[in-house]
Amino acid sequence: MNKRRIFKIFLTTFIISFTILPIILSNSSWPTLARDYLFMHAFDETGASNTVSSIYLGYRLIDTLGETLVLFVAITGTMSILLNLHKQVLQGVETQSSLPPEKRAKNALRTNLVEVVASKLGPIILLFGLYVMLYGHKSPGGGFQGGVILASAIVFLALSTVVKTKLTNSNVLSRIESISFLSLILVTTYVVFFPNGFFRNIATNNSFASATMIIILNIMIGLKVGTSLAVMIIAMMGGQHDY
């Protein structure tokens, strides 16, 4: 740490803090227009009583689409950097997601205790994740949150050797991911291009099926996020993936 370096760091920090301190410490009042409008109209226009859900799945749907794309690109990039994606492996490879016994000696953290407990906890967390995903319009939660919990549930199931389920098979997971991505795009396109179409009418006129749009979008986002994260973690754990 020579003097020039310390001087550079000090100069940079000084300029940056001088610039941002007025913004952080400003005392102007926070605007209330948006809050008042949403308090009056959010439930009628989207059918959700969680105003945060009505914003990011109703009014600002494009931002959520962008966020889903960010997740997709990041997971693709992470997998390709970690796993040497450029080799084209032909199909027909069997997938294994749990650790075979011969590797167990090297991997000291994968004890039998972890595997048994994980196998018991997995379905419970799966149920919880589905609950968080489906109830996004009434209580805190929604697509992204529920999707991440779903991913952790699938990882728990993959950690166990006792449970043999198709849910930890990479092929099945990537199929669910691509179908949910396509249906998310189709629903978003429909909602954007036909703003007074099917979903909005149900939400505003029919009290039984209100918030249909939000529930469907939540389910698709949750499935997409959950399955893609799970595919990435299972691939990192050693389950093979066909490319």
Partner 1 sequence: MIIERILIFLIFITGFIGLISMKNIIKKIIGLNLLSSSIVLLFILEASRIGDEAPFLDDKVQNIVDPIPQALMLTAIVIGVCVTALSLAMAVRLYKTTGSLDITIIKERLENDC
Partner 2 sequence: MIVNNLFLTPVFLPILAASIILIAKSFLPVKARRFCEYLGIIIGLLLPIVIVLLLYPEVINNGSLSIIIGSYTPKIGILYNFDSLSLVMIVLTNLLTLPAWIYSRSAGPSHSYFTALLLLQSATIAGISMTCDIFNLFVCLEVMGLVAYVLIASKQEKSAVFAAFNYMMYSSSSMVFFLLGSFGLYRLTGSLTYQEITKTLVTLSAKEQNLALICLLLMIVPILLRVAIMPLSGWLINAHSKAPHAVSALLSGILIKIPLFILIRVFSISPMMQNLTLVLSYIGSATALIGVLLALSQSDAKKLLAYHSISQIGYIVTAWSLALHYGIDTTLGAVLLIAALFHAFSHAIFKGLLFLSIGTATDAAGNRDVYKIRGVNYMLRQKGEKFPLTMICFFFGALSIMAIPPFNGFFSKTLLTYYIKPSINYTILNIASIGTIASFIKLSRIFLPSKEMKKPIKELPTAKFPISIHLSLIILASLALLTGIFAKEILKLLENIFISTNLKSIKYSIFFSKSNILKTLYTGLVGIFLFIIATSKYGSKILHKLRSLKADFTDQYVAFAITIALLSWFLLV
Q: Give the interface segment with partner 1, choosing from 55-63, 98-106, 149-157, 158-166 (CB under 8 A).
A: 55-63
Site string for partner 1, 211-240 (x = CB under 8 A): ------------------------------
- Binding region for partner 2 (CB under 8 A) out of 77-85, 96-104, 118-126, 139-147: 77-85
Q: What is the DSSP string of 187-232?
A: HHHHHHH-TTSHHHHHHHH-STTTTHHHHHHHHHHHHHHHHHHHHH
Interface size with partner 2, residues (CB under 8 A): 67
In this complex, which beta carbon is closest to partner 1, that of residue 15 or of residue 162? 15
Q: What is the CA radius of gyration of the chain?
A: 23
- 69, amino acid identity: L
Contact 76, 224 (CB under 8 A): no
- Contact with partner 2 (CB under 8 A) among 34, 124, 162, 236: 34
Nearer to partner 1, 17 or 112 (CB): 17
CA 30 vs CA 26, 33, 55, 179: distances in Å:
10, 9, 18, 42
Residue 86 has which token pair? 């450029």
| φ/ψ of residue 85, rounded to 5 | -75, -15
DSSP 91-128: S-PPP--S--HHHHTT-TT--HHHHHHHHHHHHHHHHH
Question: How far is residue 205's CA from residue 198's CA, in Å, rounded to a whole number?
Answer: 11
Residue 32 is a binding residue for partner 1 (CB under 8 A):
yes
In the shown chain, the binding pattern of residues 160 to 189 toward partner 1, with x for contact by CB under 8 A and - for none, equals ------------------------------
Residues that bind partner 2 (CB under 8 A): 5, 8-9, 11-12, 15-16, 19-20, 22-24, 26, 28, 30-34, 37-38, 41, 45, 55, 58-63, 65-67, 69-70, 72-74, 76-77, 80-81, 84-86, 88, 90-91, 171, 174-175, 177-179, 181-182, 185-186, 188-189, 191-196, 243
